[in-house]
Amino acid sequence: MALKRLGAIVSGGVIGTADTLFTATGPTVISTIIVTNTNAAAQTYTLAISTGTSLPAVLGRLTGVVSIAAGDSHIITLGATMDATNNKLLCSASAVTVGFQAFGDDGS
């Protein structure tokens, strides 16, 4: 298993509007996601794996809407598997000061 950074993005700043952090082209294991808030105020974010570019219902997400404190980072360790159908790792945040990075193995 060769871990690497799969993607990085800064949020568009509208919670509920999805940004695509990574698109899998084959079997992929997401091992770690880092969420960073550089704002001086708390913000919120959500993460999902989906078949398209819209966030699924809350029950289909990796997280609900999570609060992240000012200047804080969340390191999320998981073993989520993506495939050619469920191939979009989506993120959304309430401010453009929230950034996302995904790490894992895409088999390449």
Give the domain CATH number at 16.
Answer: 2.60.120
- Nearest-CA neighbor of 6 among 98, 26, 54? 26
Note the pTM of the prediction, 2 decimals: 0.92
Range of 89's domain? 4-105
Distance separating alpha carbons of residues 104 and 33, to the nearest angstrom: 9
pLDDT in tens, the chain (108 residues): 688 999 999 999 999 899 999 999 999 999 999 999 999 999 999 999 999 888 887 667 899 899 999 999 999 999 999 988 889 999 999 999 999 999 999 988
Q: Are 49 and 90 in contact (CB under 8 A)?
A: yes
**What's the domain count of the chain?**
1
Rounded alpha-carbon distances, angstroms, from residue 25 to 2, 48, 81: 16, 17, 12
